[in-house]
Amino acid sequence: MLLRKDSNGDASHSFSGPSGTTQSHNVAWIGLGTMGLGMASHLVKKGFNVTGYDIYEPSLAKFRENGGRTATSPLEAARNAEFLVCMVASSAQAQHVLFDKDTGAVQGLPINATVIMCSTVPASYLDEIQESLKSRDRNDIFLVDSPVSGGTARASEGTLTIMSSGSEAALEKGKTLQSALAERLIVVPGGIGSASKVKMVNQLLAGTHIAAAAEAMGLAATMGLNTQQVFDIITGAAGNSWMFENRVPHMLKNDWTRLSAVDIFVKDMGIVTSSARALEFPLPIASSAEQLFISASKQGYGRDDDSSVVRLYIPTSPAAVSENARPADKLSSSSKSWTANDIKKIGFVGLGAMGIGMAKTLTKAGYQVQGYDVYPPSVEKFVAASESATAATSPSEAASGAQALILMVQNAKQAHDVLFGSGKAAEALPHGSVVILNSTVPPSAAREIRERLVAVGKDLDLVDAPVSGGVARAASGQLTIMSSADELAISKANVVLSAMSGEPKNLHYIAGGAGAASSVKLINQLLAGVHIAAAAEAMAFGAKLGLDTRSLYNTIKNAAGGSWMFENRVPAMLDADWTPHSMLAIFVKDLGIVLDESKRLLYAAPLSSTAHTLYLQGASHGLSREADGGVVRVWEFLTGVSVAKSASARVEKKFVPREYQKLSVAETTNALPAPYEGNPLEMINSRISEPNTPILVVLDDDPTGTQTCHDISVLTVWSHDTLCQEFRATEKGFFILTNSRALPTSEARSLITTICQNVEKAAKETGKGFEIVLRGDSTLRGHFPDEPEVIEEVLGKTDGWILAPFFFQGGRYTIDDVHYVAEGDVLVPASQTPFAEDATFGYKSSNLRDYVFEKTGSKFKDEQILSITIEDIRLGGPEKVASKLINGPRGGVVIANAAAESDMYVFAAGVLSAAQQGRKYLYRTGAAFVSSRLGIRGISPLSAEDLKMDNSPNSAGGLIVAGSYVPKTTAQLASLRSRRGSKLHVIELDVSSMIQSKEQADAAISSATSTASSQITSGHDVLVMTSRKLITGHDANSSLSIGTLVAAALVKVVRNIEVRPRYVIAKGGITSSDAATKGLEIKRAMIVGQAAPGVPLWRCDEETSRHTGVPYVVFPGNVGGEDTLAELVERWAKPE
């Protein structure tokens, strides 16, 4: 009902005895309401012997239909029960069913039974139960405090979230039954009652957020705003909460069908406030929310859905939220939009915490930006960040010559002064310029500023464009921006606004002219301000209850009590960090604007008023210029509690990777569930055909990632024109060969930054959406986490990183999060293979969770890593995958398990479904995910006949170049030389001598080139290979340098061979990349298929390349068996 799922995996639901058969347990279940009936029925399905009791006969009848037994009293139900579950509505009911002298269940329970209290009751009542048991000499009974959350559907599915506290013995006893009901079982330390305390804090936030959502949407309707659009905007902005996102849709439909009744919150908020009164602890916001629910119940809404409280705010028009809902406002196409080329300069005034990130984003987008701030160090910091940033000494200097002037100042008064007062910016602006007001100001102030600009008489205009998203999203160019103005002004400003908002979904046009966007921002600030104050109140209350506030935060942030502001602001409260990324004074101002507008409309806003008073109290203590989250100190001043002092210390765990045994391929894969029987490929291609599905841009750190694809292009250059041409030509996606694995980390980061900036710019120009896949090594080598980090720096944060290294053709399996490499019939944990000993990218972990921690340190917490298991994929299909992604933690890492290509198709289909519902991911994957996401079905390897090779007697020989040093390559080369014998001319470059001097290297290259050219001309196949002893340097970078030198030598040989070979095979990632780009000068090639399983085959028909049309084989160093290379050369050899 009130905690949403945030699991790392599914809890086990079966309980095996020594023989491996499921044991049955006798359970007494008291309370068969909507939740209780589903939970009890689920236990029956799982093989438990459940006897139920309820005072409502229809519920008993339904339970009997579901296979359960029923009793006529709690006492009868409890006889012979190992477990008794209490799922009644209140502590009074619980007291009656447990301890009534005639029918109470306790007197019927056998020795050492376990009572599990799942009802939401005051924490103090758990102590009362303990005392009552003691007074009845029933100390043998184990008591577990076990409030549940998740709703009726998840109750029936056994996927609830359950919090649990009690003695260690009681927790151990209760786990058997709780695990059968829960997807997430959270043990709360502190003994009996602690779980109910956490649930109580969650309910405080959940109830407050419902009330705040009602207050905000009622005000939006009263202001005449498009309520559907307001909802769509807020869900991507800082005013969002789980309850807002979950409950407002009911308001928009005017649908009060009960999913969670108003009276539930009358009870639950009553538990919160009565507990606080007993502790003499003030909860002003929760108390205001409680009064709203009480009033709604008094009005006759008690059994309606709790979202129906919105009707109290709009009594004369209770359906106004629904009546004002309509599709989002759209711009007409009558005005020609400015492009980036139309804007030679942008002036920017206000380089505070948000403003400086926004201004830097504009310079990254290629704009010349002149910035001004009253605080000179901010200007200096801005100018130092980019060559495109220059300093202005006044607002008028910033405005001079600017086609667009952005104001990110604190309030309307400052905006007036910048434009029309001492700043004289309006006077300095050239004719036809547009002013973009990103500050939060009253709607009336936006309209007044616009009127004054128009009156200046230079065709100046204003775009009212307040922003939301915080400092991080400002810096990443992913702000939510609401914009309103005349369409001509919008057409001028849109290209600038797009640069600061990133994805199109973040930029919203609001009809109604200047002031309309500020009205929507006002709604966002109402929610954001109330949510920060509520978070402070809840965390302070948690501290008063004696809870570990850090643990409390980690539980609630992913729960129904969570909000954007809770997750963003509470960490600073826990660390007592009052750095003013957003000052408390801002919410004194912004909630003041809310209350002024509400008063003008005669609209009561009690939660806003209460929160505003708390900010004023903080300001009166001198906190105005400190962080807004510092409002939590109001409770410290009043009561002495400290959220920071109640928080456990940050625990930095020493990393120790887990060890795993080698497994049998056949036994392991045969023990897995049968593959999914549906057709995910059809679903994938259906989604890809939809116009809003983003183009997949695959950044390949070496050319081998194309090994599962065909009929897709690969680029080796990334100029603006090339990328625009590719975006216009493709419907699915394309590869960009970065070869970044051959670069030091700093150079790789710089390269990826440039490519992503170019891709983003080309996508905007062509009107295409896109998402990025970092195709990396299926044996886990490469620049991780550096490459995904730099992409998020350029393109903005995503909902998570997906790690999917599975690659069937290479024998790479991920099972139970452990990554294996198949060697013959044995699955070898990846950390036990030579790949893990890579001099540059080595690692110690086979478990991908451990791998993430090993490579990223403390960047992610364990609860931020989500596993999509093979059971999820094969038993639940794309729907299960999508559900886990949508309900899982945001901003973490998703591990995709797979043991067959069909698993990856199912996973890709689930990802596409989640993306349709608003999720955005960044991918670090092997080759299999790419072809699955592109909807590509594998084809058989291509023969020489398929490729129409010239087999005439006078045709040239083929060229094989090999630089890879992995053991598999060495074995394949040995097999090739043995099997081909005299039919293959071998040229070996001695690496140890080539690295001694440039002269020796040049001599070796010259000799190899001459010999190879002669042999190819005479029709012989030629192998040019490096000597097989691996030469390494003193560190990773020096080893990489040696590898680069060796690759350069092979490239020179390829480039200097003038005769056209029948084919070219390049063995190894770096070798094949450099041979393609530098040796053959390929800029764009088509992946035509595979030369062997997992071995890509390209063809370049570009006239600028050397040897146009020659089949080019990208042969990965770690793919195939010992004879795969030899077999390919034999199949492609000229007939004897």
3-state secondary structure 342-360: HCCCEEEECCCHHHHHHHH
CB atoms inside a 10 Å sphere around CB 786: 16
Q: What does DSSP assign to residue 673?
A: P
Q: Which amino acid is at 415?
A: A
CA distance 916 to 687: 9
Catalytic residue among 360, 521, 1067, 1134: 521
920 a catalytic residue: no
Q: Which backbone phi and psi does 539 adopt, to 5 degrees?
A: -70, -40
Side-chain half-sphere exposure of 575, counting CA atoms within 13 A: 9
CA distance 279 to 281: 5
Q: Where are the strands (E) in 709-760, listed by range?
A: 712-715, 733-737
Q: Is residue 975 within 8 Å of 1001, Cβ to Cβ?
A: no
The token pair at 393 is 């000494």
**To which H or E segment does residue 1084 belong?**
strand 1084-1092
Of 695, 717, 709, nearest to 1073 by C-alpha is 717
User: What are residue 1067's DSSP bridge partners?
Assistant: 962, 1115
Q: Which backbone phi and psi does 933 adopt, to 5 degrees?
A: -65, -30
The token pair at 510 is 């609001």
CA distance 723 to 755: 10
Q: Which backbone phi and psi does 336 adopt, to 5 degrees?
A: -75, 125
Which residues in 431-452 are b (16+ Cβ under 10 Å) and which e?
eebbbbbbbbbbbbbbbbbbee
CA distance 95 to 1072: 75
User: What are residue 868's DSSP bridge partners?
Assistant: 896
Largest CA distance in the chain: 105
Local structure of 183: helix, strand or coil: strand
Task: Let me know how many helices (H) and strands (E) the chain has, helices first.
Answer: 44, 37
The token pair at 533 is 């104050």
CA angle 629, 631, 637 (to 5 degrees): 135
Q: Is residue 69 within 8 Å of 52, Cβ to Cβ?
A: yes
The token pair at 35 is 């939740």
CA distance 114 to 100: 18
Side-chain half-sphere exposure of 528, counting CA atoms within 13 A: 30
CA distance 139 to 1058: 92
Q: Is residue 944 within 8 Å of 1065, Cβ to Cβ?
A: no
CA distance 725 to 372: 38
Residues 6 or more apart whose Cβ sits within 8 Å of residue 912: 683, 684, 687, 688, 693, 933
CA distance 832 to 32: 53
Q: Is residue 1061 within 8 Å of 957, Cβ to Cβ?
A: yes
CB atoms inside a 10 Å sphere around CB 950: 11
CA distance 943 to 1130: 11
The token pair at 1036 is 């990773």
Of 1060, 1032, 1063, nearest to 1046 by C-alpha is 1032
Q: Is residue 484 within 8 Å of 516, Cβ to Cβ?
A: yes
CA distance 1115 to 1125: 8
Active site residues: 521
